Amino acid sequence: MTTPFALHGKRILVTGASSGIGRETALQCARMGASLCLTGRDTGRLNETLSMLGDGDHLSHAADLTVADDRAALVSAIGRLDGVVHCAGLVAQVPFRMLNEAALNRMLDVNLASPVLLTEALLFQRAINPGASIVFISSTAPRNALPGMAAYAGAKSALEAMSRVLAVESARHRVRSNCIAPGLIRTPMLDQLGAEAVMKEAEAYPLGLGEPADVAYACIYLLSDASRWVTGQTLYVEGGLLCR
């Protein structure tokens, strides 16, 4: 049975594939028939993800996406793509009064500049096929202001704005660009926030905290032909957090 939600014949790059949401997105995309290109920094965990994918035309290539040479080598290694999911990211809680230049740049480098510059390199090298779908993982942080999250929220907010412009610029090639904004998802990233803060925050979620698969399923929709008329959007996957 063919379904527009399937990913057969699509080649998809997933960043941050060595952990959390990126790893689960890669696994679920492979289940839907896609060929995966995986990237992350930790080669051990990256290859672990690769081995979990099973049979198929999959590859992994380690890269620090804040480094221009690493991005260029990645683009050369992977060939042409029908989809990209930008999962690589970093969170740190830094109170505004301690938000010095180094702390700000670190958040902006990983969460904003890296996905934007990697996309630019892919477009410039004509590695994005007509009809492809680009998905950026944002966050509810821009709308649900939490202490210490100014730089992270600012980076994600800018990512959403840039995704909308990309959607307009790339529409003539039928290339779509969207964001997914998850609420708190159970991944190693939550360790940065501390167990007590996470438990307190969880009380604000009508459906409780999310799992990586909840984001992966939304990625599948945005990567698939089922969403062929959806571009420039941010899809909230947040267990009802923002309803209240």
**What are residue 144's phi and psi, to 5 degrees?**
-110, 85
For 13-38, the three-class secondary structure string (H helix, E strand, C coil) is EEECCCCHHHHHHHHHHHHCCCEEEE
132 three-state secondary structure: strand
DSSP 139: -
Any contact of residue 225 with ligand NAP (CB under 6 A)? Answer: no
At closest approach, how far in Å is the CB of 50 from ligand NAP?
A: 13
Residues 164-203 that bind ligand NAP (CB under 6 A): 182, 184-185, 187-190
At closest approach, how far in Å is the CB of 74 from ligand NAP?
A: 9
One residue of 5, 31, 47, 64 binding ligand NAP per CB under 6 A: 64
Helix (H) or strand (E) holding 134: strand 128-137
Binding mask 12-51 for ligand NAP (x = CB under 6 A): ----x-xxxxx-----------------xxx--x------
Any contact of residue 88 with ligand NAP (CB under 6 A)? Answer: yes
Q: Is 152 a catalytic residue?
A: yes
What letters, b where the CB count within 10 A reaches 16 and e where it falls short, cover 99-131?
eeeeeeeebbbbbbbbbbebbebbbeeebbeee
Closer residue to ligand NAP, CB minimum distance, 192 or 225: 192
- What is the set of active-site residues? 152
Query: Where do contacts with ligand NAP occur on this chain (CB under 6 A)?
Result: 16, 18-22, 40-42, 45, 64-66, 87-91, 110, 137, 139, 182, 184-185, 187-190
